[in-house]
A and B are shown apart, each in its own frame.
Chain A
Amino acid sequence: MARMRIRLDPWPVDLQGGQLTLKAFDGTLDDVETPRWAALPARPIPERLKQVFVVDGKRRMESRIFIEDPQGQSGLGGFGAYVVGAVDLCPHGTRQAELLAVKAQRLLAHAPNLLVEPAQLTPRNPHTGQLEYAPAPMQGHDPLAALNTLQQHMLGAEQLLSHSLASRVPVDETDDREWLTALTIQDGTLRGQNLQGAVVGCVKTMETMYLPADRAGLLSELKPGERTPVLRMTYEGGQFTRLIWYVRLCEAAFYQHPMSGVMRLEMFAPDDTDFLPPIVRQVANLSGTLLTRLGSRAHKDPRAPQNLIPTAALEQAMNRSMGSADLVTRRIRAHIAATFGREAVA
């Protein structure tokens, strides 16, 4: 009789879902690289790939507000901040990694059709800088609308940054071939439309099992750096299709779920269903080598190795660039007190 076995979910418990709750996938999946379902070894990173950008974004709601405009209309809103940024690194390790464009933007989200002026929060001390909140109308009136507006702005900015940094990916076979010199690694799944940059999304958590049962077994067998063949994934009614593959970043510890350390990568698929852009294949080939190098260690990050070293540093820098939430809240309160008088403070 077989013994009972318990394995740990590698993901920290306070993160929603964890890695073991795998939902079934109801889209279609097609072989686009090869019909042969077997592990592919990692390839070295080509010399001409000079720049790798790790892009991430963060947002923070700083205060929910109630606005009454001069025309007598009123509605909900919120002060919020978001930041997108990148780490610019050399995949060959020939120079220091640098933070790029990490600068907080601030939004004053408000219910549509309100007359709202930008809010300028002046510091008490001249050395600490001003906070400027640009008005942004939100869609709908529900309490989460402000947060959603913030999120949309952030995602938009993130995507623009990702694609502006990366090399172009040709859309079909007639396109001029471009070399892969700059690659962007974006945190999380790809969103929005295809802007044709060499952007690879890293999905850290496995919540949906896209592979059919007969193929899923390969994920447990992958060696560090190895990947699955590239597949073309289409959601039922999805706006755009993606090319996906799985990579293992590190050996799963004996006490962990066998799929821990496996990450799903995705890139935008061109409209031509049979065309696998050579850049995507290159990215897939080098992804094992690159990501095992960028992967974090368990003692440094509870989300290791999927939370990449540059990502963690970027998150820290982004948090910092938004400033201390407590202090910002106080500044907002002081601003309201100074601008609208004592009776405006709740």
Chain B
Amino acid sequence: MTGVQGQSAATGAVVGMVLGTQDVTPVSFWFAVQPGASIQLDDLVVVGTRKPDGAEVRFYGIVDHVRTRHEGVTFDSDVQDVAAGLLPASISYAARVLVTRVHPENFIPPQPGDVVRHARDADLRMALSADKMGDRAFPGGLLADGQVLPLNYRFVNGENGGHINISGISGVATKTSYALFLLHSIFRSGVMGASASAGRALIFNVKGEDLLFLDQANKDVGAREADAQAQKGLPRTRYDLMNLPAEAFRDVQFLAPPRPGSTAGAIVPHVEQRASGVTPFLYSLREFCLRRMLPYVFVDRDASVNLGFVIGSIEDRLYRLAQGADTPYLTVEDWQPDDAEALIDEDIRFDELGGVRISTFPQLVAYLEYKLLDANDGEGDRKWVGKQSPATLQAFIRRLRGVQKHLTPLVRGDLSAAQAAQYRPDPLKPGVQTTVVDIHTLSATAQMFVVGVLLRDLFEHKERVGRQDTVFVVLDELNKYAPRDGDSPIKDVLLDIAERGRSLGIILIGAQQTASEVERRIVSNAAIRVVGRLDLAEAERPEYRFLPQSFRARAGILQPGTMLVSQPDVPNPVLVNYPFPAWATRKDEVDDLRGKKVEDVGDDWLR
């Protein structure tokens, strides 16, 4: 058998022949599985057919349907006669193939009777378009038969496309795990080449303290991977097959909000399980004003048009107010609060004499209330009020009061300048590759505020410096931050990232339970889409049209550790499984003995 130019003869085992009793088309066909062969869903196969001029055309595809039936019998009850040995019947075992690639691109159909083989080695690379990826492929998991699925890094880093979107119901522990696995694979497979150290990740931890142990080895990984290897009959462990180290994340910084109520004393991170290595983060009041963070306090900007105007003008006023000094707190001269005594500080500076220091968020709210509603005998300061009606202003203050409690620990003026600098969250800090920002303890409003502000800062930074080092942003519950309906500043930032981020080197690895509830432009901008287990009703929504019908039906029965991955190079999604995390995802998984036996560790202590 002579192949087409640059194509060797197919080597995989023969598994069947193209059926002639069903339509054979260039995009899908059935084949009869030959006796002794076993074909399961997701197997990759290759078929060669010859054109009349002798040239060969290869069809690469994935099995998306398998069925058996008695052939040659007409009645359902005939099965009893067949089983009793009276009625000769053959079992017809057939599989349907969705073609993922035709090479060369001659869209002729294969012929009934053409031999179907397992796609292996070179054929597998062709089937998954790995030949187009070259050295820009990184492992995205293992196929059903234990072969590695290559993902095209050009479609991740923004070169040809960017962003990854993951859908799946929660509780099956898949979305975040897979996102982290992809990060691990990108960072450690060498696909980033020389710039490997330049890649960074910003991960928001929204549930429990799961992600606060990313830098610790998982003590269960060895056993779990050995199990999986035995169960699936793999020649090596899944990490080995993918050529990835089974190691925890490196160069990780953990940020957590400060514990509320500790306004006066030390600033302690609000975490329960992890004792050390977590840095608290917060913003100074002056930063809050200078860096125009006020809009991120309001989630429902579109509640009324006027409210939007008020927010805009107050944001501007605060910005001006914060000019001219660099203290973490603000100083105002046109306000005499009722409890002014309490505000006077011993270490007051000369240039602040006669002024009032605003050093907490509630004070800022009180000041705004004064300026908008109380000053001028209830008229408000004309410059601040503008032409807004008192009702709108009251609504503004009311909302601010509503979130005051949640933001008080995060936005503070009672700091030293050194503290303010130390605790300012900086995902781009030198020497740090992965930043985990723990927001699970925060209220919904405060979560939105933190995510919005951090992403906005990141985006603005990347707008200045360009795309040279890629930042991956991992954000679960996208439907909360960028819902399909409604409008919010956080959604604006996310849209910016989704639409322009890839050219700036910000890659969003977003996840959500239901893609149908996320802003369409965010999901549609993701080049790589991943689906874990879905609710079957959800799977029928238009957002999942990229899945063929048979895959949508299967999305309801996917197990943890299994994902359907769709990438632009391969027209059909592929089912992959990925290894158990090598990093701890809970405190009790932390390998605190570092691989040694208990006795050995104890020995060290006793000496």
Contact = CB atoms under 8 A, between A and B. Distances in A.
B86 A99 contact: no
Interface stretch (B74-82, B381-389, B393-401, B552-560): B74-82
Contact of B86 (A125, A294, A316): A294
A21 B46 CA distance: 62
Contact of B87 (A94, A125, A299, A310): A310
A87 interface: yes
Contacts of B112: 127
Contacts of B73: 313
A98 B89 CA distance: 7
B72 interface: yes
Interface in B11-46: 20
B88 A313 contact: yes
Contact of B85 (A90, A99, A125): A90
A93 B111 CA distance: 39
B84 interface: yes
A93 B86 contact: yes
B233 interface: no
A125 B112 CA distance: 10
Contacts of A314: 88
Nearest to B18: A127
A314 B20 CA distance: 22
B208 interface: no
Contacts of A127: 20, 111-113
Nearest to B50: A126
Nearest to B113: A127
Nearest to B90: A99
B74 A97 contact: no
A99 B74 contact: no
Contact of A309 (B20, B83, B87, B111): B87
A106 to B, nearest CB: 21
A300 B82 CA distance: 14
B86 A309 contact: yes
Nearest to B111: A127
B86 A317 contact: no
A95 B83 CA distance: 8
Interface string A291-323: 001100001100000000110011011000000
Contacts of B113: 127
B197 to A, nearest CB: 58
A96 B82 contact: yes
A316 B81 contact: no
A89 B74 contact: no
Contact of A89 (B75, B78, B86, B111): B86
B157 to A, nearest CB: 47
Contacts of B87: 97, 309-310, 313
B74 A300 contact: yes
A98 B88 CA distance: 5
- DSSP class of B's interface residues: helix, strand, loop or mixed? loop
A80 to B, nearest CB: 24
A96 B88 contact: yes
B81 A89 contact: no
B88 A93 contact: no
A221 B83 CA distance: 33
Interface string B131-145: 000000000000000
Given A300-B75, A309-B81, A316-B72, A97 B88 contact: yes
A99 B84 contact: no
A97 B82 contact: yes
A294 to B, nearest CB: 6
A293 B86 contact: yes
A87 to B, nearest CB: 5
A303 B88 CA distance: 19
Contacts of A293: 84, 86
Nearest to A91: B85
B85 A93 contact: yes
Nearest to A295: B86
A95 B74 contact: no
Interface in B242-283: none
A252 B89 CA distance: 29
B537 to A, nearest CB: 41
B86 A95 contact: no
A90 to B, nearest CB: 5
Given A127-B112, A127-B113, A99 B88 contact: yes
Interface string A239-273: 00000000000000000000000000000000000
B88 A94 contact: no
Nearest to B74: A300
A313 B85 contact: no
B18 to A, nearest CB: 9
A309 B111 CA distance: 35
A181 B20 CA distance: 40
Interface of B: 20, 72-75, 78, 81-89, 111-113
Interface of A: 87, 89-90, 93-99, 125, 127, 293-294, 299-300, 309-310, 313-314, 316-317
27 contacts: A87-B88, A89-B85, A93-B86, A96-B82, A96-B88, A97-B86, A97-B87, A97-B88, A97-B89, A98-B88, A99-B88, A125-B111, A127-B20, A127-B111, A127-B113, A293-B84, A294-B86, A299-B75, A300-B74, A300-B78, A309-B86, A309-B87, A310-B86, A313-B73, A313-B87, A313-B88, A317-B88
Given A89-B86, A89-B88, A98-B88, 18 more contacts: A89-B85, A93-B86, A96-B85, A96-B88, A97-B85, A97-B87, A97-B88, A97-B89, A127-B111, A127-B113, A293-B86, A300-B74, A309-B87, A313-B88, A313-B89, A316-B72, A317-B72, A317-B88
Ranked 5 nearest A-B pairs via Cβ:
A127-B113, A97-B88, A93-B85, A93-B84, A99-B88
